[in-house]
Amino acid sequence: MATLTPDFCIIGSGAGGSVAAAVLAQAGAKVLILEEGAHHTRRAFNMQESWAYPALYQDHGNRATDDLAIIILQGRAVGGGTTVNWTSSFRAPERTLGLWRERHDVDIDAATLAPHYAAVEERLNIKEGTFDDVNRNNQKLWDGASKLGWQPELIRRSVKGCARLGYCGLGCPIDAKQSALITFVPDAVAAGAELRPDCRATKIELEGRRVVSVVAEGPDGPITVRPRRGLLVAGGAINTPALLLRNRLDSNGIVGRRTFLHPTVPVIGIFREPVEAFYGAPQSVSCHQFADRLDRVGYVLETAPVHPMLAAIAFPGHGEAHRQIAARLPFVQATIALLIDGHHDDVGGAIDVTAGGRINIAYPIAEPLREAARDAIKNMARLLLAAGAEQVMTLHDDPVTIRDEGDLARVDRTPFEPQRHTLFSAHQMGGCPMGQDTRRSVVDSRGRHHAIENLWITDGSVFPTALGVNPQLAVYAHARLFATQIARQG
């Protein structure tokens, strides 16, 4: 078995792992990145769903909660989720950072993060949003929100020279998306880091309070890594807790609990004119009108691209009724509501692993989330009708068709139970929360494990709740903060 001895071993090459690798390598450390996914580049990105989901997503596109109620879209490749995300870039809302400080004992504020956001935004070319990016799908969101006085916003995007093809989620074929795949991973490698794709970490071995080795399964067999200075885990907010649980590092039952998904509720508007929501920048407009609903769960409105396969699994039912919806694909607009979980009494979901290593994700839809979902569906319907939709269709198992305000009451009468409404998650957070209270958190506010002195976690699993906006940029910034601290400690 091959044995490697870097200063730092980093598990995962997504937002959290890549920027940490770049920071540490540029500080002179010898860094090894283990990535379980493959190293695909733009020439492989053929914009076909039949290739992209099995090749670039966790569980080959089949990741879901145990009961299949929530479809989970999560990247698995060099670049991690950034290789397949839709480029939307938000800083963490002050509202969320305040909640983390007050209720979760997290010692981070906006000023602490500001230089790290600035550095990441510079590298990823994140600039103010522009109307040039707004396709018809997003224009409907803008128009509807504007007519209702709900103040839509342009989304900042991590792109350079974007041709607005519309296929960010299947890998950018022209390298316009400034993913980790073409930014921080190459930066790290240029500074001397070694990248090992197709290499899945399985074992973490300790001596006392220190990690002494990591065992990984690679394409040429198992390898052992003996990191001289430390281990950084950045496998994402499902695989990181699962790795710790497989190694019985469960921090007295905290690991894997409080997993948050931004459960995402779609509705579709059917328009008389073509929307062609399969083309153009996938997300360029958002609406935060309902993000803060005081004592009720809030939500953010955005859009989703409407490609055939993703749309077909989102549309409810089967048979001729399903086909009739699919046949109107060019006329479909998709608006989504991201439910902001974990900011109230809801506790999210839980990860565990079987004896055979399979990851299980349990996520009960608590009543406060159901209330938010119903409210979101009604408001999305109002928005799409205001934007000119001929009709709005919910994605309940028995869809509710809405043509005017009078139809909205039917949404409240229609069951919102697991498997009776299409739900997605594209944002996974939590499971290894940060905080200063060792009884309620796994790592401290700079990502260091409370009980293992040379183990850090640098991904979205450290978020104590859902973020309330798309988390890619916040994961980068937190990981950069943590890595900068690690580098300073020598």
Partner 1 sequence: MSGGKALPRRGFLQKGLVGGALLLVGGAGSLALRSTRLSSAPRGPLKLLSLQEHAVFTAAAARIIPAAPSWPTPEALDCGGKADALLALCHPEVGVDFKRLLTLFENGLFGLVTHGRPTPFTRLDPAAQEARLDAWRRSRMALLRSGYLALTRLTHASYYSSPEVYALIGYPGPPDVPAEAR
Give the x-and-dash track for 57-96 against partner 1 (CB under 8 A). Answer: --xxxx---xxxx-x-------------------------
The residues, ordered by sequence, that sit 6+ positions from 475 with a Cβ below 8 Å of its Cβ are 14, 15, 16, 459, 460
The residues, ordered by sequence, that sit 6+ positions from 129 with a Cβ below 8 Å of its Cβ are 153, 154, 155, 156, 157, 284
Closer to partner 1 by CB, 421 or 480: give it: 421
Q: Among 5, 48, 401, 489, which residue sits at the site for partner 1 (rule: CB under 8 A)?
A: 48
Q: Among 272, 318, 413, 488, which residue sits at the site for partner 1 (rule: CB under 8 A)?
A: 318
CA 307 to CA 452: how far, in whole Å? 45
Instruction: Let me know: does 175 contact 40? Beta carbons within 8 Å.
Output: no
> What minimum distance in Å lies between the beta carbon of 370 and partner 1?
15
Q: Which amino acid is at 317?
A: G
Residue 151 touches partner 1, criterion: CB under 8 A? no
User: For residue 234, how many C-alpha atoms fall within 13 Å in the half-sphere facing its CB?
Assistant: 37
Total Cβ atoms within 10 A of residue 66: 15
Closer to partner 1 by CB, 3 or 252: give it: 252
> What minimum distance in Å lies between the beta carbon of 276 and partner 1?
8
Q: Which of residues 272-311 bind partner 1 (CB under 8 A)?
A: 278-279, 307-309, 311
> What minimum distance in Å lies between the beta carbon of 129 and partner 1?
21
Q: Among 312, 347, 366, 386, which residue sits at the site for partner 1 (rule: CB under 8 A)?
A: 312
CA 320 to CA 33: how far, in whole Å? 49
Closer to partner 1 by CB, 6 or 37: give it: 37
- The CA–CA distances, whole Å, from 82 to 85, 88, 352, 440, 457 equal 5, 10, 25, 29, 18
Closer to partner 1 by CB, 237 or 365: give it: 365
Closer to partner 1 by CB, 250 or 371: give it: 250
> What minimum distance in Å lies between the beta carbon of 426 and partner 1?
17
Q: Among 165, 189, 347, 386, which residue sits at the site for partner 1 (rule: CB under 8 A)?
A: 165
The residues, ordered by sequence, that sit 6+ positions from 156 with a Cβ below 8 Å of its Cβ are 88, 89, 90, 126, 127, 128, 129
CA 99 to CA 95: how far, in whole Å? 6
Size of the site for partner 1 (CB under 8 A): 69
Closer to partner 1 by CB, 153 or 352: give it: 352
Where residue 485 falls (left for φ over 0; alpha for ψ -120 to 50; beta otherwise) is: alpha
The residues, ordered by sequence, that sit 6+ positions from 454 with a Cβ below 8 Å of its Cβ are 210, 211, 227, 229, 230, 231
Residue 252 touches partner 1, criterion: CB under 8 A? yes
Residue 194 touches partner 1, criterion: CB under 8 A? no
Q: Among 132, 294, 327, 490, which residue sits at the site for partner 1 (rule: CB under 8 A)?
A: 327
Q: In what order do the strands lie in the sheet with 194-196?
A: 194-196, 31-34, 8-11, 230-233, 455-457
Q: Among 151, 313, 409, 439, which residue sits at the site for partner 1 (rule: CB under 8 A)?
A: 313
Residue 192 touches partner 1, criterion: CB under 8 A? no
User: For residue 464, how many C-alpha atoms fall within 13 Å in the half-sphere facing its CB?
Assistant: 27
Q: Among 153, 198, 397, 407, which residue sits at the site for partner 1 (rule: CB under 8 A)?
A: 397
Give the x-and-dash track for 426-465 against partner 1 (CB under 8 A). Answer: ------------------------xxx-------------
Question: Got the DSSP string for 225-276?
Answer: E--SSEEEE-S-TTHHHHHHHHTT--TTTTTT-SEE---EEEEEEE-SS---
Residue 208 touches partner 1, criterion: CB under 8 A? no
Residue 251 touches partner 1, criterion: CB under 8 A? yes
Dihedral Cα 171, 177, 178, 183, nearest 10 deg? 40
Q: Which of residues 333-372 bind partner 1 (CB under 8 A)?
A: 352-358, 360, 362
Kindly list the residues in this chain that would bind partner 1 in the complex (CB under 8 A).
Answer: 46-50, 53-54, 59-62, 66-69, 71, 161, 163, 165-167, 173-174, 176, 245, 248-253, 278-279, 307-309, 311-313, 315, 317-320, 322-323, 326-331, 352-358, 360, 362, 397, 417-420, 450-452
